[in-house]
Each structure stands twice: as C-alpha cells, then as structure tokens.
Amino acid sequence: MKFVKFALKSVCSVLLLLLALHFLSPTLFSAGAFEFDAYVKIFGRGNTVIHLPPLGKLIAQTHLPPFDLHFTLQYINLQELSHFLGNSNLETNWPFLFLEQIKASLIRYAGYFLLLAFFLGAGSSLLWSQGKINKKEMGILGFVNVLALVFFMLFVVSFYDFGAFKHVEYQGIIEAAPLVLNVLEKGIEVIDSLGVQVSGVVENISALHDEMETDIAVQKNSVKVLHVSDIHNNPAALEFIRSIVETFQVDLIIDTGDLVDYGTVFEAGRFADFFARLSIPYVFIPGNHESPQVVDYLKGLESVIVIEEGIIEASGVKIAAVADPSSYSPGMDAADEEVMEEAAEKLAGMVKDGGPVDIIAAHNPDIFMHLRKDGRLFLCGHLHVPMIKQEDGYVEINAGSTGASGVRGFRDMDLTFSLVLLSFEYSEQNLALNLYSADMIKIKHNPLNYSLERVLFNIQPGEQETGYEKDNN
C-alpha cells in the first residue's frame, strides 16, 4: 500500500514537472553571436523550431515525439556574426552550422531544468504532507523528478538528428532562403569584380560628363544631389555610390527606400561603416522592404536623416516626404490602394500647408497621385525602372535600382545598377533652387557597359538635351 501511494506521488510529481515545462516562460540564453528565448512544448511532434522574426521560422523533425524545442531569436551581435560568417563556407548547410554553435548553451539550459525538476519534486511532497514536512520524502521525490527529466533528455538526445536540418522546412518570408544562398554563391564573385571595375567605369563617366559641361554654361551657385533607390542589400551599390559622390563632388544623397531586402537590422547593419564614412547628409525615405526595426536602427545613425513624415532642409535643399505605409509593419508587400490613398492625401496636405519645397520624395510613385502639377519635382523608386519623365507641369524621376534589384538580379545575372545625379542652380532673383540638369547613370553587367544620359531643364536657346552611351568591353 505504501509503495502504491509513493508511486502515485511520484507520477503526480512528474506530471507537475511536465506541466511546468510546458507553461514555463521562455529562458533567455546566449549562443555565440545570438541571443535566444528557449522553451519546451510537451505535446509536440518531435520538431526543433527556430523562430527568426520577422522572417518566419525553420522547422526540422529532429527527434521522436512528444517534445518540441522552440528557439526565438531576440538579438544578433553583428560583430561576432561577421566573424562567424567570415570563417564559414557558404557551400556548407548553414542551419547545421547554426545548431552546432548553440550546443554548449543547450547543456547549460539542461542544467537549469534539472535544478528546477528537483525543487518541483521536493515541493510536490507538500501537497500530500497535511501540514507535516517529510524531508526524506521531499528529497526522494526531487530525485525522482531529476531521474525522469534525465530520462526524457536522454530520450531526446539519443534520437536527436542534427542532419535533419539539411532538409529543413521554411515558413514565412524565409522560404526564400535556399534561393538566396544559392544565388549568393553565384553572385559574390560578381560583386567582388564589380567593386573593382566600378571605379574605372566612373572615371570614364566623369570624362563624358566633363565633355558635356563644355557645351553648356557651368553654373557657379550649384547644388548636386545624388538620387539612389532600391539598393536591396547589395554591397556592390556602395562602391558605385561612393565613387559618384567623390568624383562629382555631390552635396546631398536622397535614398527613396528599400535599402534592405528582408526588413532585418542585420541587413541594415552592413551599411553602418558606409554611412559613418560619408561627409555629406544621407536623407532616407523608408520603402516597403523596410520594417520598424530597420527604421529605428537608421534613426540611430548620426549620418542618416530618416524622413517618415515631414519637411526637412539638408544642404540647402528643402524636401517633403512620407515613408511607404508598409514600412510601419513587418510585412514586405506593397500597401493596398486604400492605404496608399491615405498616404497620398497626407503628403498632399503636407505640401499644401508647408509652403514651397524643392523636392517631393516617396518610395512608391503612386503616393504622388494628388500632386503632379505646379512645376514640382518628384523622386521615387519601387518600380526598378530608371526614368526621367518631363510632363506639362511637373518632373518625375525614378532612380531605378541602385542595387540591381539585389538578390533577385543575380538569378539570371541581368544586373543594371542605376542612379541619377541632379544639378540645381540657385536663382538670386527668385531666391530658390531650380533644377538645371538630371544625369541618368547606369552600369550594366554581362557584358560590362555603362551609359550617361543627360536631360536639361529650363533650356536656353541653342542648347539641347544631350545623351551619351558607351560600351566598355
């Protein structure tokens, strides 16, 4: 009878342990460059689930039921991660390397649970004590719980298959990860070669630019604005921008969004050094591929001016802009018509109440729907189609994709890097900046060629629109 009663107490103690494990708050632990919340789901299918907000999750069936192991990424140390990636082979399955790095922390995590199991077992004896404390029974039930947990752990570890991550299931945005890694393997060599070639190409473009300058009157009181857009996490774009800024003595950069591809701070962190080295203002209007986390990160950089909604002045240029509505949520999809209409009305009201501005900027050109008149200048992106459009009453310029559409461009190696160099002249008579010229600069890969196309505004008699295009084979 005593044995049956003790067995019943032991079973209740183990059940209490299982319930505690199932409903226990996540435990925070570090694993190299990563910080995770970890928890155990008792009624599961034997999966290990790695949550990577806002990208989605990885699911691998690594062991036998009934436990699921969940890990939620909370923080990434970019410096440590760069070191890790620098010593990793992209051809190796990256989730497998990822799991290898957290084994030591899992052992520590297991120790925490063993301690918890003992105290839960010891505490469960109080439910049967009727006011009397039996220290011996508390110790035995605590030990029973430890043995039960060790058994469960050995059960999971014995059947745990790290190789299951070679056949991982992707859910959410991260479903594109296999494609991204495959494309990057092909694209890294291209990025490196383009980085070397861009400087030489820009020198040739500069020579064409100087040739055009001899045909027109050079303006003394000029301001040069570089319009970039849709970099999409392509590092080759940085060398392109840097070379243009230094060669043409740019005063201001305006980026109309989609700096990153998947809305992660890790992507944005790759540009931190580039921004820190800039000696001119970098005005950024968030696009639909940005996220609140990315926008907050960019706001924390001294060299970046983020406009989510408002009118600012930088390098003597007055800019009105609104962020893409999708940048306020983790999703990457473009906003629907109703939400875009609200953003368009907001921008129109801002321009109406804020007085004259030199540039109106947004990521998606649909936001300009109520403003295309009164000689206004619009800068945008999103379409990945470089364009300088002059209509009656307004000028609209789309920089295309300064990052050649990012990873997507590497699928078929159809890479076109584009940006626009705007020259303004200051009118002492009107005390305002007037757009004088817009130079569309493109660099194409495979085969490598480049072009410089100029559009002149407020053209004087005898002057013409000018365009040059040159192959560099």
Strand partners, 172: 56
**pLDDT over 80 at 305, yes or no:** yes
101 alpha carbon, distance to own chain's centre: 23
Domain count, the chain: 2
Q: Which residue has the higher pLDDT, 384 or 141?
A: 384
What is the share, in percent, of the chain residues with pLDDT greater than 90? 31
**pLDDT over 70 at 400, yes or no:** yes
Under 8 Å between Cβ of 354 and 338: no
pLDDT 10s digits, 53-95: 766 788 998 888 878 888 887 766 655 655 555 554 544 455 5
Please indicate, yes or no, whether residues 100 and 242 belong to a single structural domain of this protein. no
362 contact partners, CB below 8 Å, separation of at least 6: 256, 285, 321, 322, 324, 343, 347, 368, 378, 380
Mean pLDDT of 166-192: 58
**pLDDT over 60 at 165, yes or no:** yes
Tell me phi and psi for residue 58, to 5 degrees. Answer: -110, 135
In a domain, 77, yes or no: yes
The CATH number that applies at residue 359 is 3.60.21.10
pLDDT band at 463 (very low <50, low <70, confident <90, very high): very low
Q: Which of 120, 151, 167 finishes a domain?
A: 167
Under 8 Å between Cβ of 272 and 341: no
Q: Is the dihedral of CA 54, 60, 63, 65 positive or negative?
A: positive
Average pLDDT across the chain, whole number = 78
Distance separating alpha carbons of residues 359 and 373, to the nearest angstrom: 13
**pLDDT over 90 at 343, yes or no:** yes
Distance separating alpha carbons of residues 385 and 167, to the nearest angstrom: 37
Distance separating alpha carbons of residues 309 and 426, to the nearest angstrom: 26
288 contact partners, CB below 8 Å, separation of at least 6: 257, 258, 324, 325, 326, 327, 332, 333, 334, 335, 363, 364, 382
Please indicate, yes or no, whether residues 160 and 201 belong to a single structural domain of this protein. no
**Side chain identity, residue 372:** R
Mean pLDDT of 289-300: 93
Q: Which residue has the higher pLDDT, 448 or 84?
A: 448
pLDDT band at 105 (very low <50, low <70, confident <90, very high): low
Radius of gyration, CA atoms only, the chain: 30
pLDDT band at 212 (very low <50, low <70, confident <90, very high): low
Please indicate, yes or no, whether residues 359 and 399 belong to a single structural domain of this protein. yes
23 contact partners, CB below 8 Å, separation of at least 6: none
Under 8 Å between Cβ of 60 and 152: no
In a domain, 152, yes or no: yes
In a domain, 285, yes or no: yes
Please indicate, yes or no, whether residues 122 and 237 belong to a single structural domain of this protein. no
Please indicate, yes or no, whether residues 138 and 210 belong to a single structural domain of this protein. no
Q: The whole model's pTM is what? A: 0.65
Most confident range (mean pLDDT) of 194-198, 226-230, 338-342 is: 226-230
In a domain, 179, yes or no: no
Mean pLDDT of 321-347: 88
Mean pLDDT of 28-49: 77
DSSP 459: P
Mean pLDDT of 358-380: 95
**pLDDT over 70 at 269, yes or no:** yes
Domain that holds residue 112: 2-167
Mean pLDDT of 214-239: 80
Tokens of 399: 């920089």
Alpha carbon of 22 to those of 127, 275, 372, 404: distances in Å?
21, 45, 58, 47
In a domain, 133, yes or no: yes
Quickly count helices (H) and strands (E) in the chain: 11, 20
